[in-house]
């Protein structure tokens, strides 16, 4: 289980799926077959992912490309300017 989770954390691109950065049940099944030489049905993969705390519908983990420092800078420097432009609508 730990090895599977470590490989999932590395992301789909590392395992050859570069065009779409999402894990699907089918992709995880292929990964399991390659790593452990055993086959799982999509439902079996869903059970494994649930045991690991992963959800096939709602990603729990952040994107690999996420840059926390860049986000913090944007929130601190750019967002206040954008927020200042917003004015509440007065009904009258």
Q: In the chain, what are the domain boundaries? A: 2-61
CA distance 27 to 92: 56
Reported confidence tier of residue 17, pLDDT bands at 50, 70, 90:
confident
Alpha helices in 1-92 (DSSP H): 2-10, 25-36, 42-52, 68-77, 79-85
CB atoms within 10 A of CB 43: 9
Of 56-60, 66-70, 87-91, highest mean pLDDT = 66-70
For residue 92, what pLDDT is reported? 62
Q: What is the rounded average pLDDT for all residues in the chain?
A: 86
Half-sphere exposure (CA, 13 Å, Cβ side) for 87?
Answer: 4
For residue 91, what pLDDT is reported? 73
Reported confidence tier of residue 27, pLDDT bands at 50, 70, 90:
very high
């Amino acid at each position: 289980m730990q090895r599977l989770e470590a490989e999932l954390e590395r992301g789909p691109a590392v395992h050859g799926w570069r065009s779409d950065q999402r894990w699907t049940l089918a992709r995880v099944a292929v990964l399991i077959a390659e790593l452990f030489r055993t086959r799982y049905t999509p439902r079996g993969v869903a059970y494994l992912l649930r045991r690991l705390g992963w959800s096939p519908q709602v990603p729990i983990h952040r994107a690999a490309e996420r840059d926390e420092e860049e986000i913090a800078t944007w929130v601190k420097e750019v967002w206040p300017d954008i927020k200042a432009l917003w004015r509440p609508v007065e009904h009258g």
